[in-house]
């Protein structure tokens, strides 16, 4: 299964729409939004696709955003999700709660996926591969990623920007 990863939309609706299209074009079968959506309009761009999401430190109204997401048919795993895909354990969170990050590393999950830093990350800590797709806001380049756990393949894609 190819998993599309996006994070830190911070209310950027059209960029999120472009990111979703790019991920689907790359064969993503599941989308994980790693937090800081900040608006219902961003969530609207996720409707109609298999999506799971967590909320971030800038998603201050957790109850309202969770209610809206659930109403829209999106799965909210806040503050942390835990999936088995292709016999790999994948934990995902926004990244601003250190305890959740350390718990995943202590459990030696296969993948720990997070956002928050607005920077692409691909490193091993012990037996865990720690990934961050980058950000769709406040970044030198806007990026998303696709993870294929079966092949252990992580690809980062730049979201094209419209000409100014």
- DSSP string of 52-71, one letter each residue: EE---TT---HHHHHHHHHH
Confidence label for 101 from pLDDT (cuts 50, 70 and 90): very high
Q: What pLDDT does 163 receive?
A: 64
Domain residues of the chain, as ranges? Answer: 3-158
Q: Does residue 141 register a pLDDT over 80? A: yes
Q: Does residue 47 register a pLDDT over 90? A: yes
Question: In the predicted model, what is the mean pLDDT of residues 88-116?
Answer: 98
Q: What pLDDT does 164 receive?
A: 60
Mean pLDDT (the chain) is 96
Q: What pLDDT does 84 receive?
A: 97
Question: In the predicted model, what is the mean pLDDT of residues 39-49?
Answer: 96
Q: What pLDDT does 4 receive?
A: 98
Q: What percent of the chain has pLDDT over 90?
A: 96
Q: Does residue 162 register a pLDDT over 80? A: no
Q: What is the pTM of this model?
A: 0.95
In angstroms, the CA 156 to CA 138 distance is: 17
Question: In the predicted model, what is the mean pLDDT of residues 13-42?
Answer: 97
3-158 to CATH, choices 3.60.21.10, 3.30.70.260, 3.40.718.10, 3.40.50.300: 3.60.21.10
Q: What pLDDT does 109 receive?
A: 98
Relative to beta strand 80-85, strand 111-114 is: unpaired
Nearest to 69 by CA among 128, 90, 61: 61
Confidence label for 161 from pLDDT (cuts 50, 70 and 90): confident
Question: In the predicted model, what is the mean pLDDT of residues 99-120?
Answer: 98
């Amino acid at each position: 299964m190819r998993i599309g990863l996006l994070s830190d939309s911070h209310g950027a609706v059209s960029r999120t729409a472009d990111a979703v299209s790019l991920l689907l074009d790359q064969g993503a079968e599941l989308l994980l939004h790693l937090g800081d959506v900040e608006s219902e309009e961003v969530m609207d761009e996720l409707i109609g696709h298999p999506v799971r999401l967590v909320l971030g430190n800038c998603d201050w109204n957790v109850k309202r955003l969770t209610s809206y997401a659930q109403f829209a048919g999106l799965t909210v795993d806040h503050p942390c999700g835990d999936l088995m895909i292709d016999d790999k354990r994948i934990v995902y969170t926004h990244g601003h709660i250190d305890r959740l990050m350390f718990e995943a590393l202590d459990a030696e999950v296969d993948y720990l996926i997070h956002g928050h830093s607005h920077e692409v990350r691909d490193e091993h800590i012990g037996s865990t591969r720690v990934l961050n797709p980058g950000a769709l806001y406040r970044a030198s380049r806007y990026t998303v990623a696709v993870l294929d756990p079966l092949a252990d393949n992580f690809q980062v894609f730049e979201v094209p920007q419209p000409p100014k």
